Amino acid sequence: MEILAFGVQADERPLIEKAFEGHHEVRCVGVFLNEDTAPIAAGYEIISTSVNADLGHRVLQTLAAGGTQLIAQRSTGFNNIDLKVAERLGMTVARVSYYSPYSVAEFAWTLAMAVNRRIVRASNRTRDFDFRLDGLLGRDMRGRTAGVLGTGKIGEAFTRIAHGFGMNLLGWDIAENPACVELGMKYVPKDQLLAESDLITLHVPLIPETQQLIDAAALRAMKDDAILVNSSRGGLIDTAALVAELREGRFTGVGLDVYEAEAGLFFLDKSLEAVEDDTLARLVTFPNVLVTSHQAYYTVDAVGQIIDATVQNVLDYKAGRRSENVLVPRS
């Protein structure tokens, strides 16, 4: 049996091919799954998709009509999949419920420190042999307050690093994480966390209840010199409201690895095209904003774990087994 893997990055391809070796043939394509590319999957019982795939009802109907029965998504998030339609069509859907939380937590800290210490600006200057320090003044993290929205595995990993910096720790979640409490974290209401934190980081899933969790009111509640980091899902932040606050000169720095309208942009080369997204175009012009292309998970360790879990999801499907990774079981 041959499996079709959509949205495979050049670095991923040899890892995916090696992982499936001895189990199934795999065809890797760089294009992302959407309405235009879905017909490619005709005849493939099993496909694997990336986090930016469009798995809405039209794409799912095309896949089902072409004979696809298993969708193995190579990510933890699944807000891009219409699970009810998949179930109605009799399709099995699986994801990767766990991979290295350190990859994302460490990258969130990379963003935080890059905007705090003006690393991008400094690097650009020294390339032009400009070694002035004007505009590069940063702040110590020790003694300041880190606010962690979402204290699951990734939030806990971020908290451990913050603890190592000697920061005060505030947390917000539906349930307290005992490991974070042991590190000295105090759980508080969201509004209090936003008002008191010098560094705010988002580690919650994107579900209807968290859509634009950081809206205009939440942004206004933050300190004027706060640092905001999002390495989770773009839809957690009202980007238009964020741009409005940035135009007022607020925030020491904003580090974004995700963007609420990133589908059709991130993971692609758009450098020779006109930018149609006015909000994103304005966002990247702010000197205190750093935007990266959804790469927080992208380490050898995490990608390896994602691929191994994807292979196991395929093997479990073929053997009729069900694991915690299954979102829609085999009918």
Buried b / exposed e along 91-130 (16+ C-beta atoms within 10 A): bbbbbbeebbbbbbbbbbbbbbbbbbebbebbeebeeeee
How is residue 230 written in tokens? Answer: 């999002």
Angle between helices 300-319 and 13-20 (to 10 degrees): 40
250 noted as active-site residue: no
Host H or E run for residue 328: strand 326-328
Q: Report the C-alpha gap between 285 and 16 in whole angstroms.
A: 37
Count the neighbouring beta carbons within 10 Å of the beta carbon of residue 247: 10
262 noted as active-site residue: yes
324 noted as active-site residue: no
Q: Which of 95, 118, 233, 250 is catalytic?
A: 233
Can you give the three-state secondary structure of 166-208, one letter per residue?
Answer: CCEEEEECCCCCHHHHHCCCEECCHHHHHHHCCEEEECCCCCH
Query: What residues are annotated to the active site?
Result: 233, 262, 294
